[in-house]
Structure 1
Amino acid sequence: MRWRPRGLRSQITAAIAALVTVVVALAGLVIVARIDHRDRTDVDRQLAARAQKVRQDADKLLGQGDHEDDHAEGDEGRDDYGGLLAGSQSLVRLLSDGKVIAQRGDSPPTALPLPDRDGYRTIEADGETWRSLTGPLNPAGDRLEVLQDVDSIERRLADNTALVAAVTALAALAAAAGVWTTTRILLQPLQRLRTGALAVSADTTAPQLPEVTHPQEVADLSRALNTMLDQLRTSMESTRRFTADAGHELRTPLTSLGVTIEALQRNPDLPAPQRARALAAMSNEHHRITGLLTGLQTLARGDAHALPDRTPVALDVLLEEAVTHAVRRHPTVTYRLTADTPATVNGWPAGLRTAIDNLLDNAALHGRPDGNVDVRLTRAEGEVRISVSDDGPGIPPDQRQTMKERFTRGPRTRATGSGLGLALVEQQAHLHQGTFHLAQSPAGGLRATIKVPSAGPV
């Protein structure tokens, strides 16, 4: 099983240390190789120059044979054979018919093998390394071989390689120590986020993660996480509110429905008129429960922003359909629709239709019996306005804001309802970046106006 650092800090440190090791090692080896190549090229160049000079002294070398120590005492330091003094670690050999007929220079303890071809070659003998250049000497077929001991070059190569290894190890250690210290500082914002995330609680209402300003990537992560937590908190609060509202508001109609059912069960011989009234009451409670659940579900979905993508909505067409259906629901009410121009907004057709239906039903139920409802669609200054006016008793100015709250019903209302209609309208207006206002209508009743930004040209 391969070992791999678990922590981000350890992984960054290991990765950078490995990268520095590879880079420094490669760079060092390239430099060492270049130096070694230069040294060996210089040796080959010196061998070629020495061979050229020795050819000029070949007759002297042939005359003295292979006696290296017959210098006169006063001749030490003289150079009669191309710099081939004793101690120069160089050797010259004259070859004829596969035999050495003369040589001059430093001879190794072990005899060097004879060359089998002309040109450069490297020879290993008794732990020493020699570089050799062989070439023809004269038309008679004699050959000249010039050799140079290159142990110093080999030692330099080994020393340079060891130096590169040491520098690479030191560079890797220095890089690891530097990265380990630096990442501790750079990862502090992430550590703060981690600490904040461990402290996240479902009951926390304030921002739960610290605001990070740098580096930019961590700052973006901080904002994204806080946005996600806000959405989760909103969704949770919406769920709690839905549960609490449903439990509170459904208790009364369900109790009433249960009492009526028990009464019918205990009195199977109940007269027909009383049974009809009981069934009608049960039907009303059923409709009330259904409407209440639908309204609560719509409010909860809006609170949690669980909404589909926005699409262009033709309000004039949507309003005409809504008025047509409202006439069927309230046949005794007269609806008058005025839509001077087409209007389009970006939003959710279902949500806008819910808001419009609630305004139309509210005007019919709480306005004057068999009264008139005026519906107008206008555009001005980049916004679309939908106003619904009735000729009923209206709402006093000091109660209009209160009537927008959930489960609020007017003291003089004569119609049953859940008290969620105006709350739904205001929520949809806000979700569409608009506003919702209540005022007195020209006929003395209530005028409800929704204003939302227009998507089309004014």
Structure 2
Amino acid sequence: MRLSTRIAIAVGLTTPLLVLAAGWLLVRLVADDLQTREDARLRERAAVAAPDARRLLRATAADRPAAVEQARERQMLTSGLDVGLRLVGPDGTVSSAGPQPGADAPLPVQAAPVPRTVRAGGENWRVLSTPIKGGRAGADGTLWVFSPDAASRAQIALVRARVRRVALLAAPVSGLLAWAVATRVSRPLRLLQRRTSGLDPRCSATRLDHTPTGIAEVDDLARTLRTVLSRYDEQAARTAEALATARSFSAAASHELRTPLMSMQTNLEILTAHPELAADDRGQVLHDLRHEHARLLGLIVMLRELGRGDLIEAEAFGPVDLVDVLEASAADLRRRHPRARIEVTGVPGLYVRGWEPGLRIVLDNLLTNALVHGGGREGESGGSVEVALRVERVGESGGAVAVLTVDDRGPGVPDRLRDKIFERFHRRPDSPGSGLGLTLVAQQVALHGGRIRVLDRPDGPGARFEVRVPAQVDGVPDAATEVTLPPHRDWLIATAERSRVSGAEVPGPGVPGPGASVPHDFHKDGS
């Protein structure tokens, strides 16, 4: 059923009810007005006839001549005009005339100055009683004034009949008028429906083009439809990115895993074909197998984490204490490399709004990278890593930036490689890593609205990795704060140059953007 038809039916049913309700109220008001007017007339007639009634009672009590009594009676009845009068003395009715109920009609027991309704002989009478004080013994009585209620009842019945006729007529007339008005008013809604019916977001990029109509409901509906379509586009884009990430994961895994798998196969064939192999040679083959297995496992883990970063949503972000994450990462590194020297200094209570597993990935990979370059590989004497976490105020608004620096005492990163070490699978020939460690770092820094750059260690040979992300030092960030993620997260899909540019386009609040004094470069050192 169309909206205009629904409105017409609703109005057509509601209007007669409203008319009847208004008519009932009108009948009550008319009845009250008529009764009030009739009561006023009865009081007026009683006030005029009361003096003549008093004189008549006195004449009757004094046994005046009949002519005198008749004269007094005529004067009283003449003052009554169009109402009925009945004068009752101590010995019964003294005089009565005019329209009034029969003598057997039940009248009020006590006289009262307020008119009342009495029913007698199938008719209603309005009755007013007035006590008469004659001033002598046997001269007291009661004056009754009567008025038939038929005229008032007739007028009320006439009003009721007219209300019913108006209600019956109002149903179709109001329904037709409501249908015409609703049809006219709902025209913008029908136009909006026709515009949206031709939209198919699956096969066309055309979206709703709505001109404001001035009708709040229609314009709100158009805005809602636009929002729904934009969310559909976002979800479709995220779905496409997820599918592309899955395909890229499969392609990268098949490409990068081929070499370690082939090497492992060769070593296994050697062990199988030469059971008499010398102990030293067998140990070398097993060492190679363990090395390739570790590399294979690390590569799979790195690819998985890179895919998670590309698919993470804003709902996963929340308040994170950077110092807690840093201390946990450093403690884990000390357990794995007990001979390494790891110095950590930080500012307590430094919070960021982020994804805690992603921040842990940043710290783990930066610390491992620094330890590898600082001489901390297995079998060597150890390495030295210095980690510092401080806060800087940025701009007049008082925004805060957490600055993390990781220093090693290795050979450093040459300038010509600082634009490449964040590319996927870029690593030194002798690197034990997968070539994805710093790619993960760059990805997570970009997701957290920050920046990273590679510098020389300020107090000697070595490299410094500096990470800057928006932070809060005046309490825990509000959990309801909206997180804005990069529009395109394609670190597992894109080429190295595309990944670098993608990261450079999403600086965090209060952090200088691309082209500012602090460059936004993503690099990788081969961890």
Q: Report if aligned partners of 2:319, 2:351 keep a CA contact under 8 Å in 1.
A: no
Scaled by the length of structure 2, the TM-score of the pair is 0.61
Q: Residue 453 of structure 2: which of 432, 437, 445 is its match?
A: 437
Sequence identity percentage = 24
- How big is each residue's C-alpha offset from its partner over 1:171-201, in whole Å with a ceiling of 9 and x where there is no partner? 9938956983686378689x56993897444
- How big is each residue's C-alpha offset from its partner over 1:336-381, in whole Å with a ceiling of 9 and x where there is no partner? 5363754612234432221111122233456777775443333332
Distance 1:57 1:358, change over 3 A: same
C-alpha distance in 2 between matches for 1:194 and 1:50? 78
C-alpha distance in 1 between matches for 2:156 and 2:224? 52
Tell me the equivalent position of 2:467: 450
Tell me the equivalent position of 2:35: 40
| Aligned pairs, number | 426
C-alpha distance in 1 between matches for 2:103 and 2:420? 114
Tell me the equivalent position of 2:404: 386
C-alpha distance in 2 between matches for 1:402 and 1:196? 50
C-alpha distance in 2 between matches for 1:17 and 1:288? 76
Q: Does 2:351 match 1:345?
A: yes
What SS does the aligned partner of 1:81 have?
helix
C-alpha distance in 1 between matches for 2:194 and 2:270? 65
Q: Report if aligned partners of 1:25, 1:164 keep a CA contact under 8 Å in 2.
A: yes
C-alpha distance in 2 between matches for 1:439 and 1:9? 71
Tell me the equivalent position of 1:323: 330
Structure 2 residues not aligned, in runs of 5+: 61-65, 68-73, 394-399, 476-527
Structure 1 residues not aligned, in runs of 5+: 1-5, 65-70, 72-77
Structure 1 residue 388, shift from structure 2 partner: 2.5
- Higher mean C-alpha deviation, range 6-15 or range 347-356: 6-15
Scaled by the length of structure 1, the TM-score of the pair is 0.68
Structure 1 residue 41, shift from structure 2 partner: 2.0
Q: Does 2:317 match 1:305?
A: no
Q: Residue 97 of structure 2: which of 104, 121, 145 is its match?
A: 104
What SS does the aligned partner of 2:318 have?
coil
Alignment of 1:242-257 (within 5 A): 242-252=245-255
Structure 1 residue 32, shift from structure 2 partner: 4.3
Structure 1 residue 270, shift from structure 2 partner: 4.6
Q: Report if aligned partners of 2:422, 2:438 keep a CA contact under 8 Å in 1.
A: yes
What SS does the aligned partner of 2:314 have?
coil
Q: Residue 355 of structure 1: which of 323, 341, 362 is its match?
A: 362
Bigger relative CO (Cα 8 Å, ≥ 6 apart): 2
C-alpha distance in 1 between matches for 2:285 and 2:85? 136
Q: Report if aligned partners of 1:345, 1:453 keep a CA contact under 8 Å in 2.
A: no
Structure 1 residue 288, shift from structure 2 partner: 3.0
What SS does the aligned partner of 2:107 have?
coil
Distance 1:184 1:375, change over 3 A: same
Tell me the equivalent position of 1:114: 105
Structure 1 residue 306, shift from structure 2 partner: 4.2
What SS does the aligned partner of 2:39 have?
helix
The AA in structure 1 aligned to 2:153 is E
Distance 1:256 1:434, change over 3 A: closer
Tell me the equivalent position of 1:280: 290
What SS does the aligned partner of 1:414 have?
coil
Q: Does 2:79 match 1:82?
A: yes
C-alpha distance in 1 between matches for 2:241 and 2:153? 81
Q: Report if aligned partners of 1:209, 1:226 keep a CA contact under 8 Å in 2.
A: no
- Higher mean C-alpha deviation, range 209-218 or range 148-157: 209-218
The AA in structure 2 aligned to 1:81 is T
Distance 1:314 1:160, change over 3 A: same
C-alpha distance in 2 between matches for 1:156 and 1:352? 89
Tell me the equivalent position of 1:291: 301
What is the alpha-carbon root mean square deviation over aligned residues? Answer: 5.3
Q: Report if aligned partners of 2:100, 2:148 keep a CA contact under 8 Å in 1.
A: no
C-alpha distance in 2 between matches for 1:409 and 1:23? 80
Structure 1 residue 243, shift from structure 2 partner: 1.7
Q: Report if aligned partners of 2:362, 2:444 keep a CA contact under 8 Å in 1.
A: yes
Q: Report if aligned partners of 2:427, 2:434 keep a CA contact under 8 Å in 1.
A: no
